[in-house]
Amino acid sequence: MAGATFLPIHPSYIYMAEPYETLLKKAYANVTEPSESVERFTVPEAKAYIEGKTTVLENFAEIADVVRREQDHLMKFLLGELGTAGKIDGNRAIFNGKFEPSLINNLIKNYVDDYVICSECGKPDTRLVKDDRVLLLRCDACGGHRPVRKRKARSEQASQEIQEGAVMDVEIQSVSKRGDGVVRMGRYIMYVANSKPGQQIKIRVARISGSIIFTERA
């Protein structure tokens, strides 16, 4: 066209349309997402052993630190579930009575499920707060909150009624070093031969010796 003026096109304008989607993909690729290794939450295995008439949890303080809960709160939970007395001794916890390490680990898992892990997002970034006498688990990661599900030891009432010869259905909770199934009922420990955790078994109370219950298949 006569008299028309044409402006030179900058090279970047020529290639802008073509690499846009590529650049967008690169931008998204550069967004950092939390890695599984960062978000992995692992509670230390309980280092528990029997010493005389007591059970020692050697790494009690370490476990409390990892789950970010006060030692007194964790200890109160364990004592209530074990149905015994005990004390915090430095980094250790000492419980009156003989308890299998597998039982201690199961109780710590229950504590983490009830008092630490958010039921909405599954993360451990939570705090315990009280709202009008109701204990809540509030999550700092997703903002979710729920009432704490306190595990009432219903077996404690049942254990007071246990007598030799009684027949009952039990669920195996753990395994002893000898390979017997273990069921915790209040302050009692029940041993069931040839059983595995999770099994539902009908047993007969053969003999009660202090806090130990010996059983046979019914």
Mean pLDDT for all residues in the chain:
80
Q: Give the DSSP H/E element, type plus range, for residue 93.
A: strand 92-96
The residues, ordered by sequence, that sit 6+ positions from 97 with a Cβ below 8 Å of its Cβ are 53, 54, 55, 82, 84, 187, 211
Cα–Cα distance, 61 to 98 (Å, whole number)? 20
- Under CATH, which number does the domain 154-217 receive? 2.40.50.140
Contact by Cβ (8 Å): 107, 83: no
What pLDDT was estimated at residue 72?
A: 96
Residue ranges of the chain that CATH labels 3.30.30.170: 41-116
3.40.640.10, 3.30.70.141, 3.30.30.170, 3.40.1110.10: which CATH number matches 41-116? 3.30.30.170
Burial group, residue 73, by CB count within 10 angstroms (0-12, 13-18, 19+): middle
Task: Report CA torsion sign: 192, 215, 80, 146.
Answer: positive
C-alpha span between 93 and 66 (Å, rounded): 16
Are the beta carbons of 105 and 175 closer than 8 angstroms?
no
Place of tokens 């964790």: 74
The tens place of each residue's pLDDT in the chain, 218 residues long, gives 555 555 554 554 444 445 556 655 555 444 434 434 335 789 999 999 999 989 999 999 999 999 999 999 999 999 988 888 999 999 999 999 888 888 899 899 989 999 999 888 889 999 999 887 888 999 998 888 888 876 554 444 444 567 888 888 888 888 777 788 888 877 788 889 988 888 889 999 998 877 788 899 98
CATH 2.40.50.140 in the chain, residues? 154-217
pLDDT in tens, 137-172: 999 988 888 888 765 544 444 445 678 888 888 888
